[in-house]
Structure formats: structure tokens, C-alpha cells
Amino acid sequence: MVSQRSNHEQGEKNDQEEFYCSSQPIYFHPGSRCHPCRSYHLMLILKFLSYIYNKLSFFRYQIVWVSKYRRKKLYGQVRRRFGEITRDLCRQKGIGLVEGHAMPDHVHLCLSIPPKYSISYVVGYLKGKSAIRLHQKFSNKMRGSKSFWARGYFVSTVGLDENQVRQYIRHQENEENRQREFDFQNK
């Protein structure tokens, strides 16, 4: 049922038609080509896709970095504290720590990073903040400067082989120990 209004009731909208879509009025000129519902729904779809891309899509990376001079510094309490620090730092930035393992001289991580952060920013943030916090906690055990990590890092994207990467990170210490035993037997 269409209600009839006088020109006085319509006010300045006398040459416009009123359409309701999702309980919001949309005004458009009758001579325009685009139907108001189509443009409104298209706008909603674009906003939704933008939301999905910016908020829900995460990129997964395998990241490896080593300690300064490959010294075996990550063991015992330092190793446990590094795990706590890394989880805390990732939580603060909204980064998903999918898998992680700290070896005595290097770190393997599989991270799920939102697109608003670059990989270099995330690695710099994790390396820098973890070095500062470890130095504050264990300054008596760590002699010298605050440079705990060596410069540089390795990054690889994780795609369909995510399960293999996670399994590699999880079982890497066992594999290294097995290789050391083999090297020792050959000498």
C-alpha cells in the first residue's frame, strides 16, 4: 500500500522518490541509472570484504633467527622465560603464535600475522623486546651488551605445507640430537 502525500508534506523531496532498504531510507532521483538497493547492497558487500581482508585474513610465516655468535644461551630458565615473553608480545600485537620452539642457539616460530604489520616490523619487535626483557631478568647471567640476537632472520611463507612446517618445528630438537649422535659415531 502506497501512501499519498501532498506536495507540502513532501517538502523539498518532491522530485525524489523514497525507498526503504534495511530500514534506512535512500533517496535518489528517478532518472538515475542505479537502483538504490543495488548500490546499497554493493556498498555493504565492499565494506564486508574490506573487513574480512583487514581483520580476519592473516598471513602465516615460518621465522628463524639465531643468537649472537650462535652462542648456546637459550636453556633452562632463560628458555622458559623467552617462551613466556614471546607469547606475551604476540598477544599484545594480535599475532597468532601457531608453533614455536627455542633451541639453545636459535629460535623457530610459525606466526600468523595480520596484514597491517610487515614481517620486518614483527621480527624487529619480537627480537628487540625479547632481548630487552631477557637482559632485565637475567642481567647477571648475560655479560656484555644487550645485543642478544644476531642481525638478520630467515622467513618463509607457509601455505599448504603448514602441517609439515609445524611438525618440523615441533620435532627439530629430536632430529638435531639424532644427527649429533650420528656425527659422533662417524668420528
- Residues 143-165 have a mean pLDDT of 84
Q: Quick one: 54 exposed, middle or buried, by C-beta within 10 A (0-12, 13-18, 19+)? A: exposed
Say what percent of the chain tops pLDDT 70: 66
Predicted pLDDT of residue 170: 87
Predicted pLDDT of residue 44: 75
pLDDT tens for each residue of 105-133: 999 999 999 888 999 999 999 999 999 99
Say what percent of the chain tops pLDDT 90: 38
Predicted pLDDT of residue 181: 73
Predicted pLDDT of residue 174: 81
Predicted pLDDT of residue 115: 85
Q: How far apart are CA 123 and CA 118, in angstroms?
A: 9
Element (H, E) at 83: helix 77-93
Provide, for the chain, the percentages of residues in helix, strand and coil under a 3-state DSSP scheme, each rounded to the nearest 5. Answer: 50, 20, 30
| Nine-digit cell string for 154 | 630467515
Q: At residue 84, does pLDDT exceed 70? A: yes
- Residue 68 CB neighbours (<10 A): 15
DSSP state of 55: I
DSSP state of 112: E
Contact 100, 91 (CB under 8 A): no
Q: Pick the residue with more confidence: 45 or 115?
A: 115
Q: At residue 52, does pLDDT exceed 70? A: no
- Residue 39 CB neighbours (<10 A): 14
Q: How far is CA 33 from the centre of its chain?
A: 42
Predicted pLDDT of residue 159: 82
pLDDT tens for each residue of 130-146: 999 998 888 776 665 66
- Residue 159 CB neighbours (<10 A): 9
Q: How far apart are CA 46 and CA 103, in angstroms?
A: 45
Hey, which residues are catalytic here? Answer: 168
pLDDT tens for each residue of 20-34: 444 444 444 455 555
Mean pLDDT of the chain: 77
Q: How far apart are CA 96 and CA 90, in angstroms?
A: 6
**Residues pairing with 100 in the sheet:** 109
pLDDT-derived band of residue 56, with 50, 70 and 90 as boundaries? low
Predicted pLDDT of residue 61: 94
